[in-house]
Structure 1
Amino acid sequence: MNNQVFERKWSDYYQAVEGRPPRETLLMALEKFEEPQFAVDLGCGDGRDTVELLKRGWRVLGIDGEAEAIARLRSRPYIDFNRLETRVMRFQDLVLPKSVDLINASFCLPFCPPEHFSDLWNKIVSALQVGGRFCGQFFGDRDSWATYPNMSHHTRSQVEELLQPFTVEVLQEEQHPGTTALGEQKYWHIFHIVACKKSINSNHDI
């Protein structure tokens, strides 16, 4: 096991991804809603997904653990602050509102330390109302960052277990060598997910 913890220079990352379009999993989830509602953008970064939600008329709570991310989001042009609330909050301290219609977590959940992941996921599931959706990514166990002890990675069976409270609408598994936004060599193992929360009485298989 690698004892070296993962560290990211977030300022460099925000600079590298500036101007990129919203994530595909968010767009796929938004297609399934008939009208704009209330979303939490978890790990919102500089707001590539938040901005898309606002453009479509959604009310959005943007949450990120980095104050710089929230500052970059709030400095973007054409932000409707009547429909946007932001919070600087780390995963282990996360407090979510009730009855959320969509929780978007684009490429952020793997950065939750493993000892806090179960609690984080339970908060996400609890915050979503029945018929609400989760969209985002998990990193798989064959991802090259899986050796870092402060990151959370999952096997496919573990992902399927986590998604038991949901009707899974998209579950795409991706594996290939590539590079990060900062140009680092990396083997990617990713699960892309869109899932709709089932009623408590529902016992359908995913």
Structure 2
Amino acid sequence: MDENTENWRKYYEKALSRPHHPRTEFVVKSNGSSSKVAVDCGCGTGSDIAYLNEQGFDVFGFDVNEDSISICRERFDSIENVYLQQRSFESFNFETAGIVIANSSLFFADPDAFKSTVKKITSSIAIGGVFAGDFLGYKDSWASGFRVPTSPVTKQELLEIFTDFDILRFNERDEIGKTLIGKEKHWHTYSLVVQRRT
């Protein structure tokens, strides 16, 4: 087993015990569209899928990692209105949605296709709908020389991406901290929740 696969396995083992992301509740409350469709990009072990489904959404979850989708298929086998695919950002077909979440997953989107990927996401969100996600900053340890390609952005680039959205929450993290599997690194990330207005 290569190092990348082993690290993802360790991550999923830890992630299985975690509840949904706290901001997902805020996202559900903030959805001003009539759409009851939600997309979880890089769905991991499915904690946010479970919560969104409980709130009455049809949830489309995708992840590039086979282990993730296997875990989710087992977890949601008997649950209606959850649709899972092993896909990358670049190959997933985004339908119109009231909610799109990308918790720490856009870090690993293909840098050569990053602009078109983000355009696909923003265009898919219904008017009044909400996007919540995390983006990698250039000071992050993973921004260059990581074991897989990453897609860092500047704050200005990020604000330009979401010019048709109202910013509901915006947070910049710039500090030393640990990953979920206990490895120390420098974190430089932008986390935001935005609502489409046009």
Q: What TM-score results when the alignment is normalised by the length of structure 1? A: 0.86
| Distance in 1 between residues matched to 2:130 and 2:145, nearest whole Å | 29
Alignment of 1:138 onto 2:135: yes
Question: What amino acid is aligned across from residue 52 of structure 2 in structure 1?
Answer: L
Equivalenced residue count is 192
23-32 vs 122-131, which moves further: 23-32
Q: What TM-score results when the alignment is normalised by the length of structure 2? A: 0.89
CA RMSD of aligned residues (A): 2.0
Match of 1:116 among 113, 120, 142: 113
Match of 2:19 among 18, 21, 46: 21
SS at match of 1:137: strand
Detail structure 1 runs of 4+ shifted over 6 Å in the superposition.
none
Measured after TM superposition, the shift of residue 100 of structure 1 is: 0.8
Measured after TM superposition, the shift of residue 36 of structure 1 is: 7.9
Measured after TM superposition, the shift of residue 29 of structure 1 is: 1.0
| Distance in 2 between residues matched to 1:175 and 1:7, nearest whole Å | 25
The equivalent residue for 1:96 is: 94
SS at match of 1:31: helix
29-38 vs 127-136, which moves further: 29-38
Measured after TM superposition, the shift of residue 151 of structure 1 is: 0.2
Paired residues for 1:61-76 under 5 Å? 61-76=60-75
| Distance in 1 between residues matched to 2:31 and 2:111, nearest whole Å | 32
Per-residue Cα deviation, 1:107-162 (whole angstroms, up to 9, x for no partner): 10010121011111011011111111101111111111111371011111111111
The equivalent residue for 2:192 is: 193
Stretches of structure 2 lacking an aligned partner (at least 5 in a row):
none
Contact 2:31 2:99 in 1 (8 A): no
SS at match of 1:118: helix
The equivalent residue for 1:129 is: 126
The equivalent residue for 2:39 is: 40
SS at match of 1:170: strand
Question: What amino acid is aligned across from residue 72 of structure 1 in structure 2?
Answer: I
Alignment of 1:158 onto 2:166: no
| Distance in 2 between residues matched to 1:91 and 1:72, nearest whole Å | 19
Measured after TM superposition, the shift of residue 31 of structure 1 is: 2.1
Measured after TM superposition, the shift of residue 80 of structure 1 is: 5.5
The equivalent residue for 2:58 is: 59
